[in-house]
């Protein structure tokens, strides 16, 4: 690929050679009386030829070095921490990345820049993920750097960006060598009290059922004494006490059944919104991880149910490190989910997706294999009838094919009248003949014509035409990637909803964060997703049906502003309570909004000093949002409080503690009853 | 990654070497023109070279100045009976040396890679995700071997240029073009154009053979679309229109 610097140099060579080869004859033919003569065409020609040969040699050399470059480079990425190689990240723990690059070519590349593409949401702590310099034959390159993941989820290494150039910067090649690797980022390990593990644990694990269930059972610890009933096993008779009281007394032992806790995590679109690692879902996942680790540490059973608007995924309560790892993996996968809606305008996502595609799949956007004829956006613009809510400009753009001829005809008429006017002005006013002012007129006409032809490029919907070209190219990539039928390419260009869905899928697959508009044009919230309540209710009923003894069901779900749709859930909760289970609800709470009961502290999110008007607007917005959230929370608490269901706001530090307290409470219930 | 010094990259040893390269080239041009009695015209390339050093168009200005000096001054062509004309050789090698040095300096002072195409479109969101680093070449990466190769290539290109220029046939096969330079030019264009066409065709063929399955599928997808896009578009627009109508509760 020739750079602009290379083009200029080529132009110079062509100019020198043309001057020396045809300069003299052309001058003799066209300007025979010109006083300045071409005297030395040979010297100029030799200079031109020297530059041309050198340039050709550079080009051939660069071509020979970069042909099949991708096949000649092999990459290996090794991740390790203090203990050795790892295949999983932990939140907050630094991981050392080493990229080994080896080159099997026969010619050295004089200058390359190799850059490992750091995944989104990963912080570079130490070192550099890039290398600059020559690429020598059989001399491996090592790139070392340290990264850290601030939040739970998953990360994806796409590959390595390679740029090669000659030493002058005439030629340039850009490649992306894919080395796709996906890693889970698990929540950091904490103990039952929510503290990070810093001390050595007991070597001997307590036996199952360490937390005795204070209900009659077959355990070994004495719970109570009662009168003998016919059918009681004779071995449970307390003989000494029976002798003292002169009637048969039976010993009642505690139950050794451990307490079971099932967490229902909302993974619907409403909690996925927000920057990755800072959205509500991440908060819920952190709470669930802490609870799972704490319950596993005390040998209790913990289960998980992930649900969204359409489906649910269950893990039956169990215990053990393998079960914990399985739960943590599922939670990490859930934390990486991205929101999706077909109502998002594709034009907002298109530049982001196109930019990403050009960075990671540059070969798929090459004009050789993915072409968009430039005239197409002029002659066949998208009509307004294929848009849901077309604006005036959209309608006008649909008529572009007809506007252009009007512009050209109008332009010719304007030029004709201008010509007549100029002629009249020269003739009548300045007393000059047109032939005398020929050069000036021709030059002016040329400039006018140039401007006339250039204007449409800047004023006839340049942004829409550019987006049309990008959309076609991306649609082709999406068709191939997701295996759509041949007609799908054109369909994606016309149907906004489908194209938007596929764009979001493409971005989510590559873990590219993207923003979606929260409200539609009528001001309605797009992500309320009331259907998830039915899915949750179904899951809860199913869990109650499979439950044993009394269990704790923790619903970590965004139910705010859904009080009108809570009917099915309330029925399921009643069933659970009737079977002596406990239910509690944890509502995700957006960061920056004070918790109910806490004092509001309206501070700008970025901490910068803002202009007074901006600050006022910000605090007014914060106040109204806070009020809305508090009202919604009280509404949910009132509705569920009638069933004696505790409702709390999600807080990464307090919520696990409250859930664990509820578990403890569950243990003593048997005694109370 | 070796980063160039941000404050004064021209003070790095690598930059100084190429600055010296350019200065020696200018001096050589001046000496040749002085010895060939160009008089005041010999200062024109020096002025262009010195002034052009501060711009990106230095080599172009210098080459134009040399061409003007040798053409427009009242001077006879360099002459001699030897196969190699030394003034021509020095002049062409010096112009090339200046161009080489200047462009390598630009790679160290400004940038070595061009701006990504998407960044040229000024779309903030799209270009935010692409690596926009045009990264200068670190002057510390300049090696002695590189300078030696540059010197060898200067001499080689100068000699070869003169030889090829002389061997360009002016009379062979000339169908009465007068002066013969016109026939020379036509031949040159045919030879260069033909070679480029051949190379481009071979490269295209090679590229087709090297395609990944994904690229090949995309090519086929694109070809189908090219051939049937009119029909596809009509159907897709009707379908979309009907879908929108249905979603609004209207009958399509």
In this predicted model, what pLDDT tens digit does every residue of B14-66 receive, in sequence order?
Answer: 788 888 888 999 999 888 888 877 777 788 888 888 888 888 888 888 888 88
pLDDT at A202: 46
pLDDT in tens, B196-231: 889 889 988 888 888 889 999 999 999 999 999 999
Q: How confident is the model at residue B179 (pLDDT cuts 50, 70, 90)?
A: low
Q: Are strands A109-116 and A153-165 parallel, antiparallel or unpaired?
A: antiparallel
Nearest to A480 among B121, B130, B221 (CB): B221
CB A130 within 8 A of CB A163: no
Mean pLDDT of A509-513: 88
CB proximity A466 to B under 8 Å: yes
**Is residue A240 predicted with pLDDT exceeding 70?**
yes
* A351 contacts on B by Cβ (under 8 Å): 123, 125-126
pLDDT at A209: 47
Query: What CA–CA distance (Å, rounded) separates B202 from B193?
Result: 14
Say whether B2 and A132 touch across the interface (CB within 8 A).
yes
A332 Cα to chain B: minimum distance (Å): 25
**Is residue A163 predicted with pLDDT exceeding 80?**
yes
CB proximity A19 to B under 8 Å: yes
Q: Where are the beta strands (DSSP E) in A166-212?
A: 172-186
pLDDT at A199: 44
Say whether A21 and B113 touch across the interface (CB within 8 A).
no
What is the chain B residue with the closest CA to A55? Answer: B157
* Contacts of A70 by beta carbon, 8 Å cutoff, 6+ apart: A175, A177
Q: What percent of chain A has pLDDT over 70?
A: 86
Residue A402 burial (CB < 10 Å; 0-12/13-18/19+)?
A: exposed
* B201 contacts on A by Cβ (under 8 Å): none
**Is residue A179 predicted with pLDDT exceeding 80?**
yes
* B162 contacts on A by Cβ (under 8 Å): 46, 49-50
More confident residue, A47 or B117: A47
Q: Is the dihedral of CA B243, B245, B250, B251 positive or negative?
A: negative
pLDDT at B41: 78
Q: Is the dihedral of CA A210, A216, A220, A222 positive or negative?
A: positive
**Is residue B10 predicted with pLDDT exceeding 70?**
no
* A5 contacts on B by Cβ (under 8 Å): 56, 103, 106, 114
CB proximity A365 to B under 8 Å: no
**Is residue A130 predicted with pLDDT exceeding 60?**
yes
* A111 contacts on B by Cβ (under 8 Å): 107, 112, 137, 141
CB A571 within 8 A of CB A533: no
Tell me which H or E stretch contains B33: helix B13-35
Query: What CA–CA distance (Å, rounded) separates A361 from A341?
Result: 25
B171 Cα to chain A: minimum distance (Å): 14
A672 Cα to chain B: minimum distance (Å): 57
CB proximity A479 to B under 8 Å: yes
Question: Position of tokens 């070095």?
Answer: A65
pLDDT in tens, A319-374: 888 999 899 999 988 888 888 877 788 888 898 899 899 889 988 998 889 999 98
pLDDT at A481: 92
pLDDT at A96: 93
CA atoms within 13 A of residue A76's CA, in its CB half-sphere:
7
pTM of the model: 0.79
Q: What is the dihedral of CA A633, A638, A644, A645, to 10 degrees?
A: -20
Q: How confident is the model at residue A39 (pLDDT cuts 50, 70, 90)?
A: low
Query: What CA–CA distance (Å, rounded) separates A497 from A492?
Result: 9
Report the mean per-residue pLDDT for chain A.
82
CB proximity A10 to B under 8 Å: no
**Is residue B183 predicted with pLDDT exceeding 80?**
no
More confident residue, B78 or A237: A237
Cβ-based contacts under 8 A for chains A and B: 271
Nearest to B70 among A11, A44, A63 (CB): A44
CB B87 within 8 A of CB B55: no
**Is residue A669 predicted with pLDDT exceeding 60?**
no
More confident residue, A668 or A416: A416
What is the chain B residue with the closest CA to A160? Answer: B131
């Amino acid at each position: 690929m020739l750079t602009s610097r290379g083009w200029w140099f080529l132009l110079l060579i062509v100019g020198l050679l043309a001057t020396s080869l045809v300069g003299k004859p052309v001058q003799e033919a066209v300007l025979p009386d010109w006083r300045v003569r071409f005297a030395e065409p040979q010297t100029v020609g030799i200079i031109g030829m020297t530059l041309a040969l050198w340039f050709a040699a550079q080009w051939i050399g660069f071509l020979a070095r970069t042909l099949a470059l991708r096949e000649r480079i092999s990459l290996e990425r090794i991740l390790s921490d203090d203990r050795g190689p790892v295949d999983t990240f932990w939140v907050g723990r630094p991981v050392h990345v080493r990229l080994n690059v080896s080159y099997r070519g026969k010619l050295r590349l004089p200058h390359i820049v190799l850059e490992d593409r750091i995944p989104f949401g990963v912080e570079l702590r130490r070192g550099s993920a890039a290398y600059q310099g020559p690429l020598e034959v059989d001399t491996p390159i090592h790139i070392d750097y340290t990264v850290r993941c601030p939040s739970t989820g998953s990360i994806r290494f796409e590959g390595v960006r390679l740029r090669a150039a000659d030493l002058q910067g005439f030629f340039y090649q850009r490649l992306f060598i894919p080395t796709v690797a996906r890693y889970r980022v698990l929540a950091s390990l904490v103990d039952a009290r929510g503290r990070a593990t810093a001390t050595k644990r007991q070597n001997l694990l307590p036996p199952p059922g360490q937390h005795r269930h204070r209900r009659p059972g077959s355990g070994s610890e004495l719970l109570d004494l009662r009168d003998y009933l016919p059918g009681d096993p004779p071995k449970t008779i307390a003989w000494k006490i029976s002798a003292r009281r002169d009637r048969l007394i039976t010993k009642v032992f505690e139950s050794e059944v451990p307490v079971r806790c099932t967490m229902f995590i909302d993974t619907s679109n409403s909690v996925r919104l927000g920057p990755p690692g800072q959205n509500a879902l991440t908060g819920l996942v952190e709470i669930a991880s802490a609870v799972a680790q704490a319950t596993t540490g005390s040998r209790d059973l913990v289960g998980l149910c992930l649900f969204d608007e359409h489906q649910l995924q269950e893990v039956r309560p169990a215990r053990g490190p393998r079960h914990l790892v399985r739960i943590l993996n599922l939670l990490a996968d859930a934390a990486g989910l991205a929101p999706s809606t077909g109502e998002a305008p594709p034009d907002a996502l298109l530049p982001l997706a196109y930019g990403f595609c050009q960075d990671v799949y540059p070969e798929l956007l090459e004009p050789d294999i993915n072409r968009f004829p430039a005239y197409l956006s002029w002659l066949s613009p998208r009509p307004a009838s294929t848009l849901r809510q077309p604006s005036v400009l959209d309608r006008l753009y649909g008529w572009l094919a007809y506007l252009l001829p009007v512009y050209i005809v109008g332009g010719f008429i304007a030029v004709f009248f201008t010509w007549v006017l100029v002629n009249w002005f020269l003739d009548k006013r300045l007393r000059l003949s047109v032939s005398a002012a020929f050069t000036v007129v021709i030059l002016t006409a040329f400039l006018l014509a140039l401007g006339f032809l250039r204007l449409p490029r800047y004023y006839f919907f340049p942004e829409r035409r550019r987006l049309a070209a990008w959309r076609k190219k991306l649609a082709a990539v999406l068709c191939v990637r997701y295996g759509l039928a041949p007609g799908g390419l054109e369909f994606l260009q016309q149907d906004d909803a489908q194209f938007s869905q596929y764009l979001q899928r493409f971005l989510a697959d590559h873990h590219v964060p993207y923003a979606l508009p929260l409200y539609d044009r009528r001001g309605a919230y797009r992500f309320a997703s009331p259907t998830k309540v039915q899915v949750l209710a179904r899951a809860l009923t199913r869990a109650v049906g499979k439950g044993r003894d009394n269990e704790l069901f923790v619903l970590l779900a965004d139910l705010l502003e859904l009080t009108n749709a809570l009917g099915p859930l309330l029925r399921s909760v009643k069933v659970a309570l009737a079977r002596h289970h406990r239910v509690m609800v944890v509502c995700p709470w957006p960061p920056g909004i004070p918790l109910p009961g806490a004092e509001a502290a309206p501070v700008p999110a970025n901490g910068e000093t803002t202009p007074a008007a901006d600050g006022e607007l910000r605090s007014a917005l914060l106040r109204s949002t806070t009020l809305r959230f508090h009202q919604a929370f009280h509404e949910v608490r009132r509705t569920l409080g009638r069933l004696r269901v505790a409702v709390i706001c999600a807080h990464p530090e307090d919520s696990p503690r409250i859930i664990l307290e509820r578990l403890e409470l569950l243990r003593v219930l048997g005694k109370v009853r | 990654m070796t980063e160039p010094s941000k404050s004064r990259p021209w003070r790095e040893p690598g930059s100084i070497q190429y600055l010296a390269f350019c200065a020696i080239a200018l001096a050589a041009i001046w000496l040749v023109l002085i010895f060939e009695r160009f008089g005041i015209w010999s200062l024109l390339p020096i002025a262009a070279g010195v002034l052009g050093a501060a711009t990106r168009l230095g080599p172009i200005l210098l080459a134009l100045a040399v061409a003007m000096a040798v053409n427009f001054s009242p001077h006879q062509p360099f002459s001699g009976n030897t196969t190699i004309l030394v003034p021509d050789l020095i002049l062409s090698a010096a112009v090339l040396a200046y161009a080489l040095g200047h462009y390598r300096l630009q790679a160290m002072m400004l940038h070595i890679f061009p701006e990504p195409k998407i960044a040229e479109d000024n779309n903030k969101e799209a270009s935010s995700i692409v690596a926009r680093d045009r990264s200068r070449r670190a002057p510390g990466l300049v090696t002695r071997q590189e300078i030696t190769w540059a010197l060898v290539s200067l001499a080689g290109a100068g000699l070869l240029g003169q030889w090829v220029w002389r061997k360009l046939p002016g009379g062979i096969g000339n169908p009465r073009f007068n002066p013969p330079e016109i026939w020379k030019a036509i031949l040159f264009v045919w030879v260069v154009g033909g070679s480029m066409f051949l190379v481009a065709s071979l490269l295209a063929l090679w590229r087709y053979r090297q395609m990944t399955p994904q690229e090949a599928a995309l090519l086929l997808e694109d070809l189908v679309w090219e051939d049937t896009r009119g029909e596809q578009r009509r159907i897709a627009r009707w379908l979309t229109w009907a879908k929108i109508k249905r979603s609004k509760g209207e009958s399509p």
